């Protein structure tokens, strides 16, 4: 018998509007209030300017033939224009596929091909790699966010609007965002998140995560990851809060930014909490503006969290979820941060149900098992991959998370273990299957398997077991040339054979215990 756990919060209404309409609803009225500030250059976009630029760029995109059904890649570090490009693509009726600007040419080419992207917005730093990807396999135009061509597209659109061009009604049933995730196994797949999924994700947090237009957020976690997209970029825009962007995380940059801009709310991942807990320079900064912080994307060590709180003054609450759930499933509500144990991940967000299924028996368990979740934030499926979709979205719309969770009698949840193959390096997804496939293309590698092992800075990191003759140093640098930095293999062990089941499946547990 299914044992269904339900959110303790009253259901929220998920309005029937597009993501852009929902997120930018109050923006016009906010006028000159700063929406986004570039922490590196000081460049600022107000809410009023953001709406104008989004509308103009959307009209420019429509005039150049981009619209409903098209996919546009967005490949950039955090900067204010990220928000303009993101919402303009959506306002034109098209879909954003986000990607790390540090991805290699082959990684970019793969996602461009798989998503069918017809245009890309890129940061100046990512543009050369993207041009390379476009030349080698996927012809597409690249508009660089920091260059004049971007301003010209906005100006073209402004003229088009002035002479009567209209933006389409976007609705909420289409795919707004197509991030890539390996889900519960295999290689990265396009996660189809509809406008409705993403509006729901924001609406579901509204009673729990109370940002106002007095809040200032530091956007250091990348917008291209679902945590950054939903919990920072779109949440802060909807709430009228100001977000200050940093191109990449470095502790000094972050601390200086909190102090200078009086950042009120922390959006953390475990490596940032670790740095706040340990680095001496934290004490040299006035962090008194930070009133509350959230953390997610990977397991948080309770002792480390307590040390970070002691030094910053900000209690830390966790959220838990995954790309396939837009991403939030559980969350520690503001008023319970510092009240509930910092090791827990809070309660089920509104309109969300969960089951705990024993992976050994397939039976529902009362308090611990693989979490299956259901709610309006759960993806429509994987693009062009009905097999993976059917394995992940099982009967009656339950999303298999691939994580083992526990719930107590008060409805408070803990992440206990990860069942799926995914490795999380600093909160970023690393798919073992992707690294294994790459290793097998090395001429001197006969067989290979990859697992996650504990890593001081990254939480965990990929380790390869290899049958073959290359040296460790050679193999590490060969892989490093071919993958984004966060996917690098950090250790190699040479073995005689890779343990496999009779069906040929790698026995990772055996490797883990070896
Ligand atoms: N504790 C332990 C956690 C936790 C965790 C995620 O890259 P993805 O697909 O997605 C994310 C989502 C992060 C996120 C969700 C909800 C939320 O409120 C928030 O802000 C505070 C951030 O990273 O990886 C999904 C996988 O990451 C692990 C877990 O294995 C999950 O399936 N994970 N959050 N708090 N592990």
With the most atoms of ligand 1 within 8 angstroms of its CB, the residue from 223, 323, 327, 345 to mutate is 327
Cα 296 to ligand 1 centre (Å): 5
Cα–Cα distance for residue pair 347/320, rounded to 1 Å: 9
Give the residue whose CA is nearest to atom 26 of ligand 1.
322
CA dist 264 and 271 (Å) reads 20
Cα separation, 325 vs 502, in Å, equals: 34
407 C-alpha vs ligand 1 centroid, how far in Å? 17
The CATH-assigned architecture of domain 423-513 is: 2-Layer Sandwich (3.30)
E strands present in 65-115: 71-75, 95-99
Q: Is 333 helix (H, G, I), strand (E, B) or coil?
A: coil
Q: What is the pLDDT of residue 142?
A: 96
- Helix 127-136 to helix 105-115 angle, to the nearest 10 degrees? 60
- Residues of the chain where predicted confidence (pLDDT) is lower than 50: none
> How far apart are the C-alpha atoms of 259 and 286, rounded to whole Å?
6
- Which atom of ligand 1 is found nearest the CA of 402? 32
Atom from ligand 1 closest to the CA of residue 294: 21
Give the integer Cα–Cα distance in Å for 182 and 421: 9
0.90 exceeded by the pTM? yes
**In testing the pocket of ligand 1, which one of 177, 228, 321 has its CB within 8 Å of the most ligand atoms?**
321
Grouping H, G, I as helix, E, B as strand and the rest as coil, residue 193 is strand
**pLDDT given for residue 260 in this prediction:** 97
348 Cα–ligand 1 center, Å: 14
Domains 19-321 and 423-513 in one fold? no
Q: Please count the other Cβ atoms lying within 10 Å of the Cβ belonging to residue 155.
A: 14
Delimit the domains of the chain by residue range: 19-321, 325-418, 423-513
Mutation test of ligand 1: which of 297, 377, 392, 424 has the most ligand atoms closer than 8 Å to its C-beta? Answer: 297
Per-residue pLDDT reduced to its tens digit, 53-106 = 999 999 999 999 999 999 999 999 999 999 999 999 999 999 999 999 999 999
CA of 64 to the centre of ligand 1 (A): 37
CB 37 within 8 A of CB 244: yes
At 136 the pLDDT is 85
d(CA 224, CA 108): 13
The pLDDT value recorded for residue 137 is 80
Among 2.30.38.10, 3.30.1490.190, 3.40.50.2300, 1.10.645.10, name the CATH number for the domain at 325-418.
2.30.38.10
Q: What is the pLDDT of residues 419-444, one digit of tens each?
A: 999 999 999 999 999 999 999 999 99
* 19-321 CATH, one of 3.40.50.300, 3.30.1450.10, 3.40.50.12780, 3.40.50.12280: 3.40.50.12780
């009362």: which residue's tokens?
366
Note the pLDDT of residue 514: 81
pLDDT of residue 430: 97
**Which of 269, 271, 296, 346 to mutate to test ligand 1, by most ligand atoms within 8 A of the CB atom?**
296
Ligand 1 site: residues with CB under 6 angstroms?
Answer: 181, 226-227, 231, 294-299, 318-323, 327-328, 331, 345, 401-403, 415, 418, 424, 427, 429
Residue 67 is predicted with a pLDDT of 96
For ligand 1, what atom is nearest to the CA of residue 181?
9
Q: How far apart are CA 239 and CA 247, in angstroms?
A: 23
**Ligand 1 mean position to 472 CA, how many Å?**
32
CA distance 189 to 181: 5
What is the 500 CA–ligand 1 centroid distance (Å)?
A: 29
């Amino acid at each position: 018998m299914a044992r269904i756990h339900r959110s303790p919060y009253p259901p929220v209404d998920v309005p029937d509007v597009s993501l852009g309409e929902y997120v930018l609803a109050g923006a016009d009225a906010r006028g000159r209030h700063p929406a986004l500030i570039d922490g590196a250059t000081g460049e600022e976009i107000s809410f009023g300017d953001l709406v104008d630029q989004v509308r103009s760029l959307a009209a420019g995109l429509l005039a150049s033939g981009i619209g409903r059904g098209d996919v546009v890649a967005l490949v950039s570090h955090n900067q204010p224009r990220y928000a303009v490009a993101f919402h303009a693509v959506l306002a034109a009726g098209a879909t954003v596929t986000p990607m790390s600007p540090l991805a290699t040419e082959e990684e970019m080419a793969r996602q461009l091909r798989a998503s069918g992207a017809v245009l890309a917005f890129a940061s100046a730093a990512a543009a050369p790699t993207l041009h390379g990807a476009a030349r080698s396999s996927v012809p597409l135009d690249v508009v660089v966010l920091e260059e004049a061509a971007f301003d010209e597209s906005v100006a073209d659109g402004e003229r088009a609007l002035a002479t009567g061009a209209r933006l389409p009604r976007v609705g909420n049933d289409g795919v707004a965002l197509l991030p890539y995730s390996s889900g519960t196994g295999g290689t990265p797949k396009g996660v189809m998140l509809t406008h409705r999924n993403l509006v729901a994700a924001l609406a579901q947090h509204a009673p729990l995560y109370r940002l106002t237009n007095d809040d200032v957020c530091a956007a250091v976690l990348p917008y291209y990851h679902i945590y950054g997209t939903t919990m920072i970029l779109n949440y802060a825009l909807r709430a009228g809060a100001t977000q200050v962007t940093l191109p990449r995380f470095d502790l000094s940059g972050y601390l200086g930014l909190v102090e200078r801009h009086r950042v009120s709310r922390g959006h953390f991942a475990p490596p940032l909490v670790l740095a706040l807990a340990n680095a001496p320079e934290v004490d040299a900064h006035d962090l008194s503006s930070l009133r509350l912080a959230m953390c997610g994307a990977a397991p948080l060590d309770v002792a480390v969290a307590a040390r970070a709180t002691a030094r910053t003054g900000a209690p830390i609450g966790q959220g838990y979820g995954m790309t396939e759930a837009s991403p939030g499933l559980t969350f520690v509500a503001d008023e319970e941060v510092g009240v509930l144990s910092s090791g827990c991940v809070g309660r089920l967000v509104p309109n969300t149900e969960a089951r705990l299924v024993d992976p050994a028996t397939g039976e529902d368990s009362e308090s611990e098992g693989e979490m299956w979740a259901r709610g309006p934030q759960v993806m429509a499926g994987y693009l062009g991959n009905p097999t993976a979709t059917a394995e992940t979205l099982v009967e009656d719309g339950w999303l298999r998370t691939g994580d083992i969770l526990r719930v107590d009698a008060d409805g408070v949840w803990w992440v206990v273990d990860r069942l799926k193959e995914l490795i999380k390096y600093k909160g970023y997804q690393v798919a073992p299957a992707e690294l294994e496939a790459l290793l097998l293309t090395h001429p001197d590698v006969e067989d290979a398997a990859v697992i996650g092992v504990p890593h001081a800075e990254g939480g965990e990191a990929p380790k390869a077991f290899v049958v073959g003759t290359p040296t460790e140093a050679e193999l590490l640098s060969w892989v490093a040339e071919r993958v984004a930095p966060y996917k690098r293999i950090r250790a190699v062990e040479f073995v005689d054979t890779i343990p496999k089941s009779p069906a040929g499946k790698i026995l990772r547990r055996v490797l883990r215990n070896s």
